[in-house]
């Protein structure tokens, strides 16, 4: 198959698990003999850092990068007008560029990933012939009704405007959004993100946790990191052994300032540290240097690739019982779930797992087996490949 894949960002430039998952799927499809060309934005590109002929970084990135999350909150209408005008103008350029690429490559399939920052209009306004179009939904794209769309709208996934041939959703949460948006349930399938086999810990031995906890991800209020710090305050007072927390990632600086103030308020400066965002491969070592991963989101997280990564390295996960993580974690079997936005419950679950060594090691073994059985990229890619082949066969009838 000749596949043209569109994504706002593509590694080595990425903001989260979305882009990493896209590369994993695409690499696997290429290994299976399919010709996949990626079309992405110019974000992060210089003359020296891109030499792959199968990656076209020609599109304009639409986001207002220099305005942080806090500025948007304080001045929403100003940001809305400026951002919408900018998106409208750049979308016109993207439509022209994408049209030329689609005509030149003449693909069998158009595979869309996260396109909000290059615009879905980029593709749909230029598809003249009947090319099957599929989308991988890893975020609330069907529920994307923000202030940015009120002026010069550049993004709409109304079922009356776009008719996808198939929708892949990374979780049941995302599938529910697609159904509520009016899409045909028979054209929707749940395909979780996957990781490569080399992430799996080859040998697992009995381990006594030493109290080293880890958070990995974007530093944003909806990620609930403040609840981890509050939970640490409870633990610091009541837990007899040493505990340490590493917060790895980057994000909204105003929120980071708030987190640091909270750490100072609770006198946790010696046991909580920040670490800059790391490359995907370096995270392997970071996971194995810690005892627990905390996923503290207070919103309906679509999936949570970091859970799969940690589980594959034999690191138990404690996650808030909401959204995608609650589908991945089987409570008391492959991890622990706690009540969202409840730092006291999180503290209890942390203490429980650090002190019950039998449960801790049982979860480690179960988590690795769960990843091996359900989340290896080789297995989940097969479902995508078979669906794409079926679409082409249907189109030739």
pLDDT of 91 higher than 80: yes
* Mean pLDDT score, 225-250: 92
| pLDDT tens, position by position, 244-263 | 999 999 988 899 999 999 99
In terms of phi and psi (left: phi > 0; alpha: psi -120 to 50; beta: otherwise), the region of 253 is: alpha
- What's the mean pLDDT in 63-79? 64
pLDDT at 17: 78
pLDDT value of position 316: 97
Q: What is the mean pLDDT of the chain?
A: 86
Between 143 and 7, the higher pLDDT residue: 7
Q: Are 85 and 64 in contact (CB under 8 A)?
A: no
**What integer is the mean pLDDT of 275-295?**
90
Cβ–Cβ under 8 Å, residues 9 and 118? no
CA distance 112 to 136: 6
Terminal Cα distance for the chain, rounded = 17
DSSP strands (E only) in 163-230: 166-169, 188-190, 212-216
Give the mean model confidence (pLDDT) for residues 69-93: 77
- Structural domain 2-194+376-396, CATH architecture: 3-Layer(aba) Sandwich (3.40)
Residue 149 per-residue DSSP state: G
- 275 forms beta bridges with 248
Whether 209 has a pLDDT exceeding 70, the answer reads yes
pLDDT at 72: 62
For residue 124, report the phi and psi dihedrals to the nearest 5 degrees. -70, -25
Identify how many contiguous H helices and E strands the chain contains and give both numbers.
Answer: 13, 13
Residue 158 has pLDDT above 70, yes or no: no
- Would you place residue 396 in the very low, low, confident or very high pLDDT band (cuts 50, 70, 90)? low
CA atoms within 13 A on the CB side of 38: 27
Take residue 166 and report the two structure tokens written for it. 């198939």
Per-residue pLDDT, 49: 54
Nearest to 12, CA basis, from 281, 283, 304, 306:
281
The pLDDT of residue 167:
93
* Domain-wise residue ranges, the chain: 2-194+376-396, 197-374
pLDDT at 137: 87
Identical fold for domains 2-194+376-396 and 197-374, yes or no, is yes
At residue 122, does pLDDT exceed 80? no
Q: Which of 43-52, 67-76, 108-117, 210-219 has the lowest mean pLDDT?
A: 67-76
Q: d(Cα 108, Cα 335) in Å, to the nearest integer? A: 41
Residue 165 pLDDT exceeds 70: yes
Greater confidence (180 vs 263) lies with 263
Second-level CATH architecture of 197-374: 3-Layer(aba) Sandwich (3.40)
**292-295 vs 317-320, strand pairing mode:** parallel
Average pLDDT over residues 288-309: 94
**Nearest residue to 61 (alpha-carbon basis) of 11, 124, 115:** 115
Q: 313: which residues sit within 8 A by CB, 6+ positions away?
A: 199, 201, 284, 287, 288
pLDDT at 147: 29
- pLDDT at position 259, please? 97
* 135 within 8 A of 167, measured Cβ to Cβ: yes
The pLDDT of residue 69 is above 70: no
- Which one is predicted more confidently, 272 or 395? 272
Helix (H) or strand (E) holding 56: strand 55-59
Percent of the chain exceeding pLDDT 90 equals: 61
Residue 272's pLDDT is: 96
Give the start-end residues of each E strand in the chain: 2-6, 35-41, 55-59, 109-112, 133-137, 166-169, 188-190, 212-216, 244-248, 272-275, 292-295, 317-320, 336-338
Mean pLDDT of 49-73: 72
Q: Give the C-alpha separation, 207 to 213, whole Å.
A: 15
Give residue 256's pLDDT: 95
Name the residue with tokens 């399938």.
189
Strands lying side by side in the sheet with 212-216? 272-275, 244-248, 212-216, 292-295, 317-320, 336-338
* Of the listed ranges 24-28, 86-90, 303-307, the one predicted with least confidence: 86-90
Which three-class secondary structure state does DSSP give residue 329? Answer: coil
Of 20-24, 295-299, 373-377, the least confident: 20-24
Give the model's pLDDT for residue 236.
Answer: 86
The model's pLDDT over 333-345, given as tens digits with 9 standing for 90+, comes to: 999 999 999 999 9
């Amino acid at each position: 198959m000749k596949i043209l894949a569109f994504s706002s960002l593509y590694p080595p430039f990425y903001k989260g698990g979305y882009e990493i998952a896209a590369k994993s799927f695409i690499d696997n499809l290429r290994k299976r003999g399919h010709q996949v060309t990626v079309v992405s934005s110019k974000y992060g590109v210089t003359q020296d850092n891109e030499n792959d002929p199968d990656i076209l970084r020609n599109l304009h990135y639409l986001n207002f990068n220099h305005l942080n999350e806090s500025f948007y909150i304080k001045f929403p209408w100003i940001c809305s007008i400026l951002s919408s005008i900018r998106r409208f103008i750049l979308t016109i350029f993207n439509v022209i560029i994408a049209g030329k690429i689609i005509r030149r490559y003449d693909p069998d399939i158009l595979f869309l990933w996260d396109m909000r920052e290059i615009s879905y209009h980029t593709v749909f306004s230029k598809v003249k012939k009947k090319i099957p179009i599929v989308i991988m939904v890893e975020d609330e794209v069907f529920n994307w009704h923000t202030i940015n769309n009120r002026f010069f709208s550049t993004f709409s996934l109304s079922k009356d405007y776009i008719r996808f041939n198939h929708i892949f959703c990374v979780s049941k949460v995302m599938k529910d959004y697609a159904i509520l948006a009016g899409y045909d349930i028979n054209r929707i399938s749940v395909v979780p993100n996957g990781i490569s086999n080399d992430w799996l810990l080859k040998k697992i031995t009995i381990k006594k946790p030493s109290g080293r906890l880890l958070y990995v991800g974007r530093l944003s209020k909806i990620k609930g990191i403040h609840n981890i710090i509050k939970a640490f305050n409870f633990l610091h007072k009541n837990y007899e052994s040493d505990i340490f927390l590493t917060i790895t990632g980057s994000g909204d600086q105003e929120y980071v300032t708030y987190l640091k103030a909270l750490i100072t308020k609770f006198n946790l400066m010696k046991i909580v540290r920040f670490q800059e965002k790391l490359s995907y491969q370096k995270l392997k070592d970071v996971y194995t240097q810690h005892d627990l991963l905390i996923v503290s989101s207070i919103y309906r997280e679509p999936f949570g690739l970091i859970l799969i990564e940690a589980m594959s390295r034999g690191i138990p996960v404690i996650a808030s019982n909401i959204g995608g993580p609650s589908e991945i974690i089987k409570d008391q079997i492959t991890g622990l779930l706690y009540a969202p936005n409840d730092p006291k419950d999180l503290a209890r679950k942390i203490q429980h797992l650090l002190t019950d060594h039998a449960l801790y090691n049982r979860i480690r073994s179960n988590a690795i087996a769960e990843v091996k059985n359900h989340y290896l990229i080789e297995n989940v890619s097969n479902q995508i490949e078979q669906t794409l082949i079926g679409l082409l066969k249907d189109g030739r009838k």
